[in-house]
């Protein structure tokens, strides 16, 4: 399909739903040469992929429609470097898990994957040539610039490890080793893209274009995060869990800004319906009125701001549409013993908490195991009777023991 499009149509499709493009002239030059644009998208294999992955996934679909060749970098080494989000023992399994997920996700939204290539980061990032280039790059990048570049991507902590400074250098260098014309990612990657644009020519490698999609709000209105279970929906969440999470989602009446439910329609449901039906379409059933049918996100936003489209109608419609998209992914998972095995290895259940040791209580002298026992007439009995007995024969001895004999 991409080969039949004009250069203008290809450019329009490539830039659909993007927030920003750096060096678009590089893209135009490649298209004018008549060869496919080579793009890479990298994902650090850390937490479990969630529904936010539909956003870049559907953008990859548009790149493929435009005739581009796409490489998906399963960045296992990056996952380890990012403040140890993924232990080195697990990154291999997580990379394989991500591969299963991304392929199934793209299939679920009818993305053709014949021009899609998966590359494991460690397959070339551990070579002597790459290591030498990383040293060369580290000699022309300051600590300040490396830290600034990774500020919105690498986990920020006090007294951070050096790995966080290496991360953006490697992401820049990956453009050369993957032999691409452009890198695609979220707008949170912008500082790393700017670093790559500036420093690669310093070690005699060419500058690339950079394509950025906006960050889609999570269900609670903030950034969608794998570490916040309330902000995202896991791709393997059951329909009941999906309904429960979307019921609690941040979706105040008349408010479009920061509304994760509406953003999900814009960046996932409308593009997905376009791939499936040839044109975007989103339907909102209503209990006491005709359903609302939309083909443009602008109309959805306008009706929501005017309270024609209410949260009470919108949330159930989004819920059922999402469940429908997730169904084939979950069917793939259930049918694959290999995928299930990888999931267990990639995300092993946490060990049970250690049992608390019961402290021995001092029960005093009135319980079994007592050493002495006082009787009603004042005398004592027990194995250590002589230590406390101050009776007839023991008074003087007791005084002596107390140091008062003088």
| pLDDT tens for each residue of 212-257 | 998 888 776 655 555 566 668 899 999 999 999 999 898 999 999 9
Q: Residue 97 domain-assigned? A: yes
Q: In this predicted structure, what is the pLDDT of residue 349? A: 83
HSE-CB at 341 with a 13 A cutoff on CA atoms is: 3
Q: Residue 232 domain-assigned? A: no
Q: Residue 174 domain-assigned? A: yes
Q: In this predicted structure, what is the pLDDT of residue 178? A: 98
Q: Give the predicted TM-score (pTM) of the model.
A: 0.79
Q: How many domains does the chain have?
A: 2
**Shared-domain flag, residues 205 and 250:** no
**Shared-domain flag, residues 201 and 249:** no
Q: Which residues contact 189 (CB under 8 A, 6 or more apart)?
A: 152, 153, 171, 212
Q: In this predicted structure, what is the pLDDT of residue 153? A: 79
**Shared-domain flag, residues 126 and 198:** yes
Q: Which residues contact 58 (CB under 8 A, 6 or more apart)?
A: 109, 111, 267, 268, 271, 272, 275
Q: Residue 271 domain-assigned? A: yes
Distances from the Cα of 225 to the Cαs of 51, 95, 157, 399, in angstroms?
Answer: 10, 18, 17, 75
Q: Residue 233 domain-assigned? A: no
The tokens 């903030």 sit on which residue?
222
**Shared-domain flag, residues 138 and 201:** yes
* Domain of residue 331, residue span: 239-346
Instruction: Single out the residue in 178, 197, 213 at which a domain terminates.
Output: 213
Calpha distance 27→35 (Å, rounded) = 11
Q: Residue 390 domain-assigned? A: no
User: Residue 287: which CATH number?
Assistant: 1.10.240.10
| pLDDT tens for each residue of 21-69 | 999 999 999 999 999 999 999 998 888 889 889 989 989 989 998 999 9
Beta bridge partners of 211: 21, 184
Q: Which residues of the chain have pLDDT under 70?
A: 1-3, 83-86, 156-157, 220-231, 360-406
Cα 390–chain centre separation: 75
Instruction: Single out the residue in 292, 324, 346 at which a domain terminates.
Output: 346
């Amino acid at each position: 399909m991409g080969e039949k499009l004009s250069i203008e149509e290809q450019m329009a499709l490539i830039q659909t739903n993007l927030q920003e493009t750096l060096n678009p002239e590089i893209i135009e030059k490649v298209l004018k040469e008549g060869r496919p644009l080579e793009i890479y998208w990298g994902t650090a294999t850390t937490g479990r992929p969630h529904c936010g992955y539909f956003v870049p996934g559907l953008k990859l679909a548009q790149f493929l429609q435009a005739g581009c060749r796409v490489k998906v970098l399963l960045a296992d080494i990056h996952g380890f470097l990012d403040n140890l989000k993924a232990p080195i023992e697990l990154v291999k399994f997580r990379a394989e898990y991500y591969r299963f997920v991304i392929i199934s996700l793209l299939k679920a939204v009818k993305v053709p994957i014949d021009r899609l290539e998966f590359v494991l980061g460690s397959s070339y990032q551990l070579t002597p040539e790459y290591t030498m280039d990383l040293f060369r790059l580290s000699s022309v990048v300051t600590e300040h610039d490396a830290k600034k570049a990774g500020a919105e991507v690498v986990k920020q902590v006090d007294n951070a490890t050096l790995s966080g400074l290496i991360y953006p250098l490697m992401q820049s260098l990956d453009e050369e080793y993957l032999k691409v014309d452009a890198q695609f990612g979220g707008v949170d990657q912008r500082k790393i893209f700017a670093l790559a644009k500036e420093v690669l020519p310093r070690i005699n490698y060419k500058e690339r274009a950079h394509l950025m999609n906006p960050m889609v709000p999570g269900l609670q209105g903030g950034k969608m995060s794998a570490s916040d279970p309330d902000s995202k929906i896991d791709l393997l969440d059951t329909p009941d869990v999906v309904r429960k999470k979307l019921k609690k989602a941040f979706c105040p009446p008349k408010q479009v800004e920061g509304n994760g439910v509406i953003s999900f329609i814009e960046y996932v449901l409308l593009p997905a319906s376009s791939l499936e039906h040839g044109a975007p379409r989103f339907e909102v059933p209503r209990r006491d009125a005709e359903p609302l049918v939309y083909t443009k996100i602008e109309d959805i936003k306008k009706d929501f701001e005017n309270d024609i489209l209410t949260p009470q109608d919108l949330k159930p419609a989004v819920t059922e549409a999402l469940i429908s998209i997730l169904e084939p992914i979950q069917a793939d998972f259930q049918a694959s013993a290999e995928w299930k095995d990888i999931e267990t290895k990639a995300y092993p259940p946490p060990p049970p908490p250690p049992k608390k040791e019961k402290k021995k209580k001092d029960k005093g002298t009135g319980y079994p195991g007592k050493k002495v026992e006082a009787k009603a007439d004042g005398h004592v009995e027990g194995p250590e009777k002589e230590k406390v007995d101050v009776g007839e024969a023991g008074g003087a001895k007791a005084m002596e023991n107390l140091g008062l004999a003088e």
